[in-house]
Amino acid sequence: MTVKSFDLIQAINSRGTFITSKFCIPHLRKSKNPHILTISPPLYMGNDQVNWFAKMGTGYVLGKYAMTLITHGLAGELRDDGIACNTLWPRTAI
């Protein structure tokens, strides 16, 4: 993976998740049933975890895990506001 590709993945996945959430929060606070849903992996991928890193590439997996960590962090930060934050990881490619 090139450095340019790595930077792009981090900008889209981790930074994009953070910024999109940040600018949606004021609107979500006004909503009756606010949710943030991130398509990102569970923190523990079981025995296939090492294979997933090798198959998808460390830079890509790091970006996806960062999305999960941001979402988990926001869930704690936004709990008192009643904003639910969850991740969803399909079993197959979409």
Positions annotated as catalytic residues are 60
Q: CB neighbours of 68 closer than 8 A, spacing ≥ 6? A: 38, 40, 41, 42, 43, 87
DSSP-assigned states of every residue in 23-65: HHHHHHTTSSS-EEEEE---S--GGGHHHHHHHH-HHHHHHHH
- Give residue 55's identity as a one-letter amino acid code: K
Query: Which structure tokens are listed for 38?
Result: 């991130």
